[in-house]
Amino acid sequence: MEPHVSRPGEGEVFARGNRTITIRVDRPELSVFEIEFDGTFVVDPHTHDDQTDSFYVLEGEVEFTVGDRTVRVGPGAVLVAPPGARHGFRSTGGRARVLNLHAPDAGFAESIRGFRP
């Protein structure tokens, strides 16, 4: 098995109105997505039973739902939601960009490819 390198600008890009999702890594044990979104994009609070969902804020300010509370964070902040943890996110108004990791992938990359608005 070879290491995977994903350089800036590489990956499968899915532009969807208020967000652009780039699949940077798609492996069974880990998937990595770069998500750029505007102030209208909201991921409602939810849980995953079969994966850890993690976020690293690259640009902008992001409001995360963490359990029953919300926190606002900027570049350099990390949020990790283990299986079963309630979480969601949105921009606080402007554009934002996050690196989103799912471990294991558990079909998440394929759900991005198959999404139909």
Residue 91 contacts residue 60 (beta carbons within 8 Å): yes
**Full domain range(s) for residue 103:** 12-114
Residue 61 neighbours by CB under 8 Å, 6+ apart: 72, 73, 74, 91, 92, 93, 94, 96
| Banded model confidence at residue 117, pLDDT cuts 50, 70, 90 | low
Number of domains in the chain: 1
Residue 39 maps to which CATH number?
2.60.120.10
Residue 97 has pLDDT above 60, yes or no: yes
Mean pLDDT to the nearest integer, 81-91: 96
pTM value > 0.75: yes
In a domain, 86, yes or no: yes
Residue 41 contacts residue 19 (beta carbons within 8 Å): yes
